[in-house]
Structure 1
Amino acid sequence: MLGKHSSNEENSIEETHAVGKISNNPEAGVVYDELHVPCPPHTTERKLTSRVDAHLLPFIIVLYLLAFLDRVNIANAKVYGLVEDLGLTGNQYNTCLTIFFVPYVVFEIPSNLLLKRFSPRVWLSICCIGFGFVTTMQGLVQNYGGLIATRFLLGIFECGMFPGCFYLLAMWYKRAEAQKRFTLFFSSTSLAGAFGGLLASAIGKMSGMRGYLGWRWIFILEGTLTCVVGIIFLFTFPSFPEEAKWLAEDERAYIRARLQADSGHSGAEKKLTLKDALHVMKDYKIWLGGFMYLGMIVPAYGYAYFAPTIIKGYGYSATMTQLRSVPPWVASFGFGMIVAVASDASRHRFMYALVCIFIAIAGLAILMTVHHRINLQYAALFLTCMGTYSAMPIMVCWFNMNLSGHRRRSIGSAWMIGFGNIGGIIATYSFLPTDAPYYRKGYIIALSFICLAVVATCLYAASILSENKKKDKSVHDVGLTDYEKTELGDHSPDFRYLL
């Protein structure tokens, strides 16, 4: 339960297994009447949350790991000769990276509207099969035109993965317990980066088999794996709490109650429309969320797409380059989870996000100014990866969990990710072959955008503090019905934003 209780109250709640009255302390989050929904006698809140973890987290982690792997394995393929084999010249490789983000930016919100209509199980599984098939076909292209077409289709099928999974996560967990889950999911990118480097180093040895070079086998094998997993997910992937058949009715009622006590009524029964999207977009905090993510995406994709190229520039062979790309991702995963646990324990997001951002800034500053000192430059890659990929899940969780209800979360999360991925387009043109081996221009662009993230993060923190103060001074008992509170979402006078 969300709220500040005495230790005796907490013990009493655990013993009676009930959702009790929520404190009127502003730090406690929302303030709602007593729900009086008992926890089923055969379980406890902790056990039920563990069951949710087991039925939800493995699926979304594997899904996003495969999505990110299929998205960035082109960087591994480049090391094994993709550019030379297809005869790419000038900035054609960068254009192929860029075209992926066009549908990613345009179709995020429509994808979340479709996810709500068809359910996460159906929509996300179909998308998984789609981007797996396109990745496989990417291994068969013969020229620049074929590569750019498959990258565009990959963006169409992948655009719903990230906001859809964050939206799904936000509908299962309370805010005080969400950061660990968000970071674990987001860290699929780190696992994919590490796994991708190891897998590419192994697959690259298949070069020449059946007449295909190693870079083609990377796409063919990884895409085929994704298709198989997508077909399995079509029958097994989890959905929203209201549709969870693996829960008994009393368990579903309890989960709905604890989430309502934390964030208000979800409004799951309502259909989402374009009018809803336009209404949500009138909130300036939604725009700040987009700029926070935009500022982080540029260094994030700059690293994901070009780290193997940068490392190869240090004089390593293709196989050693793939292996050297693994440790920074592993370090990023471990550091991100430590930060997430601390963030949940302290019920705070803002300062953790800033600390991680400053670590990334330190790494980028070293890369921009230090040359011919390979060990220090390699260490700076660790700082950049750790800081960037630890700050991003904090920002996304913080923003998503400060939105209440299906309508505002589905649209707000899609906007944040969609708008933010404009940064992906910028990142792909930041590290050009003409700037090798120092890539000073790319590092300057990444630093500039990460500073934008700092400004947007500080403005967002100031805005929610201001909103909380206004609500504290206003009259709480204004006679609003549950339906009216649902329509207001986090604008409800009872809701308190988490800093």
Structure 2
Amino acid sequence: MSGVNRTGKTASTENSHNDGSPPGTAQSPASPEAVTRPDPVLSVHEAKLLRKIDFHVLPILFLVYVVAFLDRVNMSNALTLGLPSELGLTGQQPNVALTIFFVPYIIFEIPSNLLMKKSYAGILATRFFLGLAEAGIFPGSFYLISFWYKQQEAQARFTAYWCSTMAASAFGSLLASGIANMDGLRGLTGWRWVFILEGIATVLVAVAAFFTITDFPREAKWLTEDEREFVMNKTESKESVAHPVTFRDVLAFLAKPKHWLGALMYFSILIPAYSFIYFTPTIVQGLGYGTIQTQLQSVPPFAASFGFAVLLAIFSDRMRVRSPFIFFGLCLLIAGTAMCMQIHGVEHFSSEYAGLCLAAMGSLGVGGNIVCWYIMNLRGHVERAIGSGWMICFGNIGGIVATFAFQKKDSPLYHTGYSLVLAMGALCFASCAGYALIIWRERREATAGRSGKDEGKHELYL
């Protein structure tokens, strides 16, 4: 980028380190015109560095969570491929099997951030240990991503990672439709092949992840010294990651109402999200589809959610606001769920299916916005370490509730499930409004006491 002096550092190191300007660029005295008009050369250097970070950080985290989420939700596909009858699962046993995953998943999330038989018992054991193994992936990845990007860059990246859940759900249904044709191959039923093939993929990705994931900017060997310093400056991540998190830190954190609202926002959006992730194949099957068609028709709601989430992320970053897009998505969730509750019958199939797509878009589409909004409004390693684990931990209690939302005895109308989803949509709207009010007050106080040189530092987003 720039010349290297005899000490081995770029000539502009001191300047670029002090004011957060892109590495390899010399500074000149500020003028009114320079302040208001961005230097195109600086923008090119920063954009190039941003692409470099995107390439090294996001793809592997995305892939890790795709295979992890596939292992979590392939149960929903297996339920339509004969697993219950072959394992003798009756009544609510399939729902309990879905639920058991969340017990260790919830218990071990904060600690992870801060530091078989053919039977019912066998499937409970395997899903329990699956939840234990996956506990740190989701909150840990959001925690790491937050230290690579500044506020106005964050939503697109958070959404890119969040979309791994939709990609996994859609791909899982497509894969299951293909694997269904393997039923009987080598004496194994189709649902067994789902677990075998997706399990092999997970192991291969795990090996690749071990060698390619970089935790924090200061540890990135693929960045130059100037680039590391620049990234830490612009993201305000120079605080040591080794700073111990004490019990007093946790208590002080939990004493603030906004953190409970943040957890409630995620809890109330996860119940609808997990309901559609786990039960879309079951709901679609109730519309009269066969086994393979059920898997194929389960893809469009997730594809629509994916596209909706991407659009929200792009406009949210450009406009530097979060809440209006979240409220818009929640309106879609409420409207779509109401359609699913009220519209039934073969003659209204298209409208009911459209309602399912809108509800999925409204829940899955805004989940990443909610996570980004909350985590990127936290400051420093201590707050983000506690906050990311706290939000995901508390929120995933909603996963337990969701696994009992749509039960076979309620088929095909599922009034109980849809009523729960509708109520959670309203609760999420209210908790987001409360959180927005707190952030608005904090922004107003910060603006009143901010000096000119601190303008724009850790801006809180509404």
TM-score by length of 2: 0.89
Partner in structure 2 of residue 360 of structure 1:
333
Determine the C-alpha separation between the residues in 2 that align with 1:223 and 1:141: 17
Secondary structure of 1:187's aligned partner: helix
Determine the C-alpha separation between the residues in 1 that align with 2:193 and 2:242: 45
1:436-471 residue CA offsets vs partner (Å, 9 max, x unmatched): 111001100111111111111000000011122223
Determine the C-alpha separation between the residues in 1 that align with 2:150 and 2:458: 13
Secondary structure of 1:146's aligned partner: helix
1:31-63 residue CA offsets vs partner (Å, 9 max, x unmatched): xx9636661259811101110000011111101
Structure 1 residues 386, 494: closer, same or farther in 2, change over 3 A? Answer: closer
Q: Does 1:230 align with 2:206?
A: yes
Which structure 2 residues correspond to residues 338-357 of structure 1 after superposition, within 5 A? 338-357=311-330
Moved more, 54-63 or 140-149: 140-149
* 1:18 Cα deviation after fit: 9.3
Determine the C-alpha separation between the residues in 2 that align with 1:20 and 1:182: 31
Q: Does 1:386 align with 2:361?
A: yes
* 1:473 Cα deviation after fit: 3.5
Partner in structure 2 of residue 12 of structure 1:
none
Partner in structure 2 of residue 334 of structure 1:
307
Partner in structure 2 of residue 416 of structure 1:
391
* 1:269 Cα deviation after fit: 4.0
Partner in structure 1 of residue 85 of structure 2:
84
Equivalent of residue 249 in structure 1, options 225, 243, 267 = 225
Determine the C-alpha separation between the residues in 2 that align with 1:338 and 1:238: 28
Q: Does 1:201 align with 2:201?
A: no
Secondary structure of 2:79's aligned partner: helix
Structure 2: segments with no counterpart, 5+ residues: 1-10, 26-41
Determine the C-alpha separation between the residues in 2 that align with 1:332 and 1:38: 35
Report how many residues are paired: 432
Alpha-carbon RMSD: 2.4
Partner in structure 2 of residue 400 of structure 1:
375
Determine the C-alpha separation between the residues in 2 that align with 1:214 and 1:315: 21
Q: Does 1:497 align with 2:456?
A: no
Q: Does 1:279 align with 2:252?
A: yes
CA contact (8 A) 2:323 2:432 kept: yes
Determine the C-alpha separation between the residues in 1 that align with 2:420 and 2:303: 25
Equivalent of residue 270 in structure 2, options 291, 297, 306 = 297
CA contact (8 A) 1:291 1:453 kept: yes
1:165-221 residue CA offsets vs partner (Å, 9 max, x unmatched): 111110100000111111111011111111111110111111112221100110111
Which structure 2 residues correspond to residues 287-326 of structure 1 after superposition, within 5 A? 287-326=260-299
* 1:376 Cα deviation after fit: 1.0
Determine the C-alpha separation between the residues in 2 that align with 1:274 and 1:65: 33
Determine the C-alpha separation between the residues in 1 that align with 2:74 and 2:117: 15
* 1:495 Cα deviation after fit: 4.8
CA contact (8 A) 2:20 2:230 kept: no
CA contact (8 A) 2:274 2:403 kept: yes
* 1:19 Cα deviation after fit: 11
1:307-340 residue CA offsets vs partner (Å, 9 max, x unmatched): 1011011111100000001111111111110111
1:369-413 residue CA offsets vs partner (Å, 9 max, x unmatched): 111021111111110111111111111001010001111111101
Determine the C-alpha separation between the residues in 2 that align with 1:213 and 1:428: 25
1:64-99 residue CA offsets vs partner (Å, 9 max, x unmatched): 111111111101001100000000111011011111
CA contact (8 A) 1:297 1:420 kept: yes
Amino acid at match of 1:57: L
Secondary structure of 1:79's aligned partner: coil
Partner in structure 1 of residue 54 of structure 2:
53
CA contact (8 A) 2:22 2:46 kept: no
Structure 1: segments with no counterpart, 5+ residues: 1-15, 22-32, 115-139, 478-484, 486-492
Equivalent of residue 443 in structure 2, options 456, 468, 474 = 468
Equivalent of residue 143 in structure 1, options 119, 125, 135 = 119
CA contact (8 A) 1:19 1:35 kept: no
Partner in structure 1 of residue 6 of structure 2:
none
Amino acid at match of 1:67: A
Partner in structure 2 of residue 39 of structure 1:
23
Q: Percent identity?
A: 45
Equivalent of residue 352 in structure 2, options 366, 377, 389 = 377
Partner in structure 1 of residue 28 of structure 2:
none
Partner in structure 2 of residue 259 of structure 1:
235
* 1:257 Cα deviation after fit: 1.3
Which structure 2 residues correspond to residues 114-153 of structure 1 after superposition, within 5 A? 114=115, 141-153=117-129
Partner in structure 1 of residue 36 of structure 2:
none
CA contact (8 A) 1:267 1:407 kept: no
Partner in structure 2 of residue 447 of structure 1:
422
Secondary structure of 2:89's aligned partner: coil
Amino acid at match of 1:213: T
Determine the C-alpha separation between the residues in 2 that align with 1:238 and 1:174: 18
Determine the C-alpha separation between the residues in 2 that align with 1:242 and 1:327: 41
Determine the C-alpha separation between the residues in 1 that align with 2:97 and 2:393: 19
Partner in structure 2 of residue 107 of structure 1:
108
Structure 1 residues 390, 266: closer, same or farther in 2, change over 3 A? Answer: farther
CA contact (8 A) 2:281 2:298 kept: yes
Equivalent of residue 214 in structure 1, options 176, 190, 202 = 190
Structure 1 residues 234, 321: closer, same or farther in 2, change over 3 A? Answer: same
Determine the C-alpha separation between the residues in 2 that align with 1:36 and 1:220: 49
Q: Does 1:73 align with 2:48?
A: no
TM-score by length of 1: 0.82
* 1:274 Cα deviation after fit: 3.9
Secondary structure of 1:396's aligned partner: helix
Secondary structure of 1:403's aligned partner: coil
CA contact (8 A) 1:19 1:38 kept: no
* 1:276 Cα deviation after fit: 2.8
